[in-house]
């Protein structure tokens, strides 16, 4: 029985870069050859020797510079295609995977319990919401579930962070709030 090879996923950004580089090279070459054609047409009757004539029959320097940039863009596109994609997959899974909690030591858990008992009503409400969500909740969900304004939730989270009870981690355009394990 023949084994199937796993289909390789190509990086769409790399493919796009190669296409843009090819289009840019085509535009530059078309323009460069058009300039050569116009120069030949305008200076048919030029009496100067070719070495002295300012209207040479070769691609302008600007076209060569543009072709060099186009080639660099194409090479970068190939590198992006050849490079393995798991880097993106690993970062995507780490963004959604909850942090693994470490087992708290008894001394720290007693201190933590004292700090939790000393919280005011708003801090206690936010802390309890996070604890009921298994220690992991997005900040916008806290706003929805608590009924508090965004600013109020942010200030309460600042206090809880200052006391070492929670930690905010940036996830995309929002914050994930995690109970800290001591």
What pLDDT, on a 0 to 100 scale, did the predictor assign at position 88? 41
What pLDDT, on a 0 to 100 scale, did the predictor assign at position 36? 83
What pLDDT, on a 0 to 100 scale, did the predictor assign at position 22? 94
21 contacts 71 by C-beta, under 8 angstroms: yes
Residue 6 falls inside a structural domain: no
What pLDDT, on a 0 to 100 scale, did the predictor assign at position 40? 79
Residue 2 falls inside a structural domain: no
Q: Within the chain, which residues score under 50 in pLDDT?
A: 1, 3-6, 86-94, 100-106
Residues 90 and 118 in one domain: no
Residue 47 falls inside a structural domain: yes
What pLDDT, on a 0 to 100 scale, did the predictor assign at position 138? 92
Please tell me whether residue 139 adopts helix, strand or coil conformation: helix
Q: Of 94, 127, 150, at which residue does a domain stop?
A: 94
What pLDDT, on a 0 to 100 scale, did the predictor assign at position 153? 93
CATH of the domain at 169: 1.10.10.10
Number of independent structural domains in the chain = 2
Residues 27 and 58 in one domain: yes
Q: What is the residue whose two structure tokens read 């002295």? A: 52
Tell me the pairing of strands 166-171 and 136-138: unpaired
Residues 61 and 127 in one domain: no
Q: What is the residue whose two structure tokens read 């708290």? A: 104
Residues 85 and 102 in one domain: no
Residue 5 falls inside a structural domain: no
What pLDDT, on a 0 to 100 scale, did the predictor assign at position 8? 59
Phi, psi of 178 (to 5 degrees): -125, 135
Residues 73 and 102 in one domain: no
Residues 6+ apart with CB under 8 A from 24: 66, 69, 70, 73
What pLDDT, on a 0 to 100 scale, did the predictor assign at position 42? 75
Residues 86 and 22 in one domain: yes
Structural Rg of the chain based on CA atoms? 32
Q: Can you give the pTM of this predicted structure?
A: 0.42
What pLDDT, on a 0 to 100 scale, did the predictor assign at position 96? 52
Q: What is the residue whose two structure tokens read 């200076």? A: 43
Residue 4 falls inside a structural domain: no
Structural domain span for residue 69: 12-94
Please tell me whether residue 59 adopts helix, strand or coil conformation: coil
């Amino acid at each position: 029985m023949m084994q199937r090879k796993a289909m390789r996923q190509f990086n769409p950004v790399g493919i796009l870069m190669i296409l843009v580089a090819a289009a840019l090279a085509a535009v530059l070459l078309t323009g460069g050859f058009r300039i050569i054609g116009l120069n030949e047409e305008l200076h048919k009757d030029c009496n100067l020797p070719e070495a002295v004539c300012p209207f040479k029959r070769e691609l302008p320097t600007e076209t060569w510079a543009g072709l060099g940039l186009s080639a660099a863009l194409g090479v970068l596109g190939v590198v992006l295609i050849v490079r393995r994609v798991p880097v993106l997959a690993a970062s995507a899974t780490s963004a959604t995977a909850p942090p693994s909690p470490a087992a708290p030591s008894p001394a720290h858990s007693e201190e933590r319990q004292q700090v939790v008992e000393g919280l005011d009503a708003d801090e206690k409400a936010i802390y309890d919401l996070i604890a009921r969500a298994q220690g992991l909740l997005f900040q916008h969900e806290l706003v929805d579930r608590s009924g508090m304004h965004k600013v109020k939730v942010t200030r309460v989270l600042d206090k809880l962070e200052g006391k070492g009870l929670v930690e905010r981690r940036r996830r995309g355009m929002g914050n994930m709030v995690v109970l800290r394990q001591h």
